[in-house]
Structure 1
Amino acid sequence: MDTRMQKYLTDQECVWEFNPPHASHMGGSWERMIGMARRILDAMLLQQNISLTHEVLCTLMSEVTAIINARPLMVVSTDPGNPFILSPAMLVTQKVGVPPPPGDFPDKDLFTRQWRQVQALANQFWTRWKREYLPSLQQRSKWTVPKRNLEIGDLVLLKDKQAPRNCWPLARITATFPGQDGYVRKVEVTTAEQGRPRTYLRPITEVVLLLPNE
């Protein structure tokens, strides 16, 4: 370890606590991320019988790391009109996530040139990982007890299948539409696209509540 880093950790009284062997479940949330990534990579590489060189695999794992570390943790903006989310990558780099390179990388690129192959695999991982990760942010249980309705001013994360890699679109609820029983199942949301406000109607199953308007 670098001596300056070692001195800093000593001065801050940092203590390393390691999990015991054969107890990966004690890792909690980060171990869940590892397990999710492992399942997706197994499905992508083993089932499709894709052979990668060492360089391509290292580049792909860098893209996978970027995808996982771009996930939203919490909202940190004081501007309600232009909120942004804190991610693990921002904690490390102090920068907003880097968008993917321009261009389309369909599945047919899986068997072409190495750079395009990596981008196609990264897009495939992003699609599968987002599909598994987003439900973990929503608590799904039997509708046997009343729960809080979505309200005007709530900050939500949109489930957008067309969103580019590492992009998590945020929106504010601007209107709600309760049914005859008083429960909200449809909302109007306003988001920003290229600096311009856009308004959409969405069912509550397509939004994830991040920050209630309290």
Structure 2
Amino acid sequence: MPSKIFSDNATNFVGADRKLRELKEAFLAMGPKLKRFAADEGCSFTFIPPRAPHFGGLWEAAVKSTKQHIVRVIGNALLTAATVLATMVQSLADRPSGKQQVAAPKRNMQLNDLVLVHEDNVPPQQWVLGRVVATVEGQDGKGRVADVATKAGTIKRPIHKLALLPLEIEGI
């Protein structure tokens, strides 16, 4: 049984977490033996930020690669599931495990930064304006997630979904 589960913020996973917590509480109410078992064998969910599947890192990359390989292998052919999965497993096993991306250095988001919040399927001129009220840094010290105050309330977004608006113009 896993001791920790990492997941995206899909409503079905958040609901599953809630149901599992309710189930745990019911078990804890049943007595000392069950309480000891639940405490020793508990399981916790850790959610990645909303709309940030790249925070899922390796598992999201594996899901994407698996989907692509299924389409490539099957095409229009009629194959058994065993044949498809065996071919796909071999393809995934052959790829390099550590893909490092090199990006231009950017400054971390800071408190009170003015940002536009990128929303999928919404044109940029309709993105919501907000102000950074909190940030979360990764182990490397770089900003990864920010809480943004908008007119509709505070939301949590990965920094790549935020467009920093310049407040100062160099040379002026």
Is this a same-fold pair by TM over 0.5? no
Q: TM-score, normalised by structure 1?
A: 0.28
Rg bigger for which structure?
Answer: 2
TM score, norm. by length of structure 2: 0.34
